[in-house]
Amino acid sequence: MTRPATDRHGPPTTSRVPFLPARRRLDVIKPMLGDLETATTAGQRYVMGKVLAQLREAAAPAERHLADMQRRAIRNTLAELARESERRLPNADAFVQSARMLADTLSPARVGPGL
């Protein structure tokens, strides 16, 4: 019996630690972004995928506290980050800048209570 091929090189779509509250999830992102400076291209893409998964999970519950325009901006930023992480030669500086901005935006102190 053969198994279908899977894409082992793509970034993960969800985090494997969904039990972390938003604040802790966002705290994990900053050290990960620091790893991009010294990582190989493959390592950068891997870390970018991990960061993107954490940001997506932090964005989902935060969106209910935001205006429609803010939700669209967050979704657009997540889409830009996804495109950058999928590029053959990703621009780590651009990814870090956008990811930090989004993490700051999603910070529980800025979004609302209960996160």
> pLDDT higher for 26 or 104?
104
Identify the band that residue 115 occupies on the pLDDT scale cut at 50, 70 and 90.
very low
pLDDT at 114: 45
48 close to 81: Cβ distance less than 8 angstroms: yes
Query: Alpha carbon of 6 to those of 10, 13, 39, 56: distances in Å?
Result: 9, 14, 24, 22
Q: For residue 58, give its domain range.
A: 22-109
Q: Is residue 88 part of a domain?
A: yes
Q: Is residue 31 part of a domain?
A: yes
Q: Is residue 39 part of a domain?
A: yes
Q: Is residue 14 part of a domain?
A: no
Tally of domains within the chain? 1
Q: Is residue 17 part of a domain?
A: no
Q: What is the mean pLDDT of the chain?
A: 80
pLDDT at 95: 97
Q: Is residue 66 part of a domain?
A: yes
pLDDT at 75: 95
pLDDT in tens, 17-68: 444 455 566 888 888 999 898 999 999 999 999 999 999 988 988 888 888 9
Whether residue 8 is predicted with pLDDT greater than 60 in this model: the reply is no
Whether residue 11 is predicted with pLDDT greater than 70 in this model: the reply is no
